[in-house]
Amino acid sequence: MSDAYPIPATRIVRREAGAAKHYAADIAILGAGIAGVSAALEAAKLGRKVVLIDAGSQLGGQSTQSLIGTFCGLYSNGPAPYRVVYGMADAMLRDLTAADAVAPRRGRNTIILMYQEQALARWIERSLVEAGVTLLLGATLLEACRDAGRITSLSLATRYGRAEVAAQGFVDASGDAALSFAAGFDCREPATPIMGTLMFSIEDFDEAAAMQLDRWAMQKRLAESATRYGLVRKDGFVFAFPGKGQALVNMTHVETPLDAAGHALAQIEGRAQADRVLDFLRGEYGPVFGRARVRSYGLLGVRQTRWIVARHSLDVAAVRAGTRSADAILRCSWPIELHDRPDDVHWEEFGDDHLHYLPFGTMVPAAADNLVAAGRCIDGDPAALASVRVMGPCIAMGAAAVQALDLAGAGSVRQVDIAALQARLADNLERRDPA
């Protein structure tokens, strides 16, 4: 190095005891998965100052990190499905389509949209930055300060030190009801596990041949061969994104505990299962997958761990009957997709005209005034939640949570004007644009 080269300057610092970085917002959102992102963009559209918080280092949650690869629950059932979710979904689908990063396919009597996770991740980043949302990543919730039914602030730990976020309203989009639990509100946990899935992507296979494989014949061979390959799950599927030379594999089941050490082991177990699944594909479908290799492992996808106790608990009877409650705020047509056993999945599909509805009362912890949940931690029995926790309804829930907080203002979301809320959410309740 030349003697003339300027050496970067340094300074000596010392941590001040108790010092924290303070942020103030109109609405603070814990969890940057698809529900939290929808909530943040909805709040920004209303002109609110927004802080979006996530313990991970990347936005999008499971939608971008667990290699889910499909938007489910965006469309109705039948020969001519129509979209049932709008709001953030409008710009997201428009931009991903323009980037050739989304592809529709017919499945389960509806339209499922395959997407490329990196394109979605970049869309989320750009959209939030352009909307002026303050982003706190790598921020773990330590404590939620509460005055009776009102949360006043959140205390967070980051690698850069403590942070405090004060807001008028809060959205729990954490997936695990982390905010509601930290605030001391009652929560539910499953007495028996709901299984998670570690998705993984593969490359170097015959894409054209893979797209011609009979899914149900593969299910049968899985069931027949599972013991020989050491497979836990005996159903699942492979779906290739057309023209990209990549496919996602959904054939694992792993318990998802609510403790750090257990979750780490579950992640490792999921990868081990994925490796055995690849052995199955190579061994049973040599001409198609004989040279296939893992391109990437997703983070372990979680379906149900902890959720709120709300004013209204959605039950499976209401889902099956398509009951539209007086405080309905969104509709859904996705099947009951219950992953409650290691070896397979309970699917309960609905007819062409079926829609079921989510009551706003399922999103508000029973004793809370300025907290609304969105995503998989709303209240319901496990079978009912298995039909509304997919991405389409979660997008709609994020919008509903913010609109409710905006209407409540300094008052209580328990007393929000439901008719006014439904008017703001009319697209997600009534609109029927053709696909």
Contact 343, 233 (CB under 8 A): yes
Look at residue 310 and give its three-state secondary structure: strand
Q: b vs e for 308-318, b when ≥16 Cβ sit within 10 Å of the residue's Cβ?
A: bebbbbbebeb
Please list the alpha-helical segments (H only) found in 231-322: 260-284, 286-289, 316-321
**Long-range contacts made by residues 156-159, C-beta under 8 angstroms, separation at least 24?**
156/53
- Calculate mean pLDDT across residues 12-26: 89
pTM for the whole structure: 0.96
* Closest to 135 (Cα-Cα) out of 30, 240, 34, 48: 30
Strand partners, 51: 28, 134
Listed in sequence order, the residues at least 6 apart from 420 whose beta carbon sits closer than 8 Å to its beta carbon are 407
Residue 339 has pLDDT above 90, yes or no: yes
* Structure token pair of residue 163: 């942070």
User: If pLDDT is split at 50, 70 and 90, which confidence band does 350 have?
Assistant: very high
Residue 435 has pLDDT above 70, yes or no: no
More confident residue, 109 or 44: 44
- Please report, as a single letter, which amino acid is at residue 125: E
Q: Is 434 exposed, middle or buried (0-12, 13-18, 19+ CB in 10 A)?
A: exposed
Residue 222 has pLDDT above 90, yes or no: yes
Residue 1 has pLDDT above 70, yes or no: no
* Closest to 32 (Cα-Cα) out of 48, 52, 14: 52
Residue 171 has pLDDT above 80, yes or no: yes
**pLDDT, tens digit, 9 for 90 and up, residues 373-399:** 999 999 999 999 999 999 999 999 999
For strands 20-30 and 50-54, give the pairing. parallel
Residue 181 has pLDDT above 60, yes or no: yes
Which pLDDT belongs to residue 305?
97
Cβ count near 198 (within 10 Å): 27
Contact 298, 58 (CB under 8 A): no
| The length of the chain, given as a count of residues | 435
- Calculate mean pLDDT across residues 57-72: 96
User: If pLDDT is split at 50, 70 and 90, which confidence band does 2 have?
Assistant: low
User: If pLDDT is split at 50, 70 and 90, which confidence band does 56 have?
Assistant: very high
Domains of the chain with bracketed CATH: 20-190+305-430 (3.50.50.60), 200-297 (no CATH)
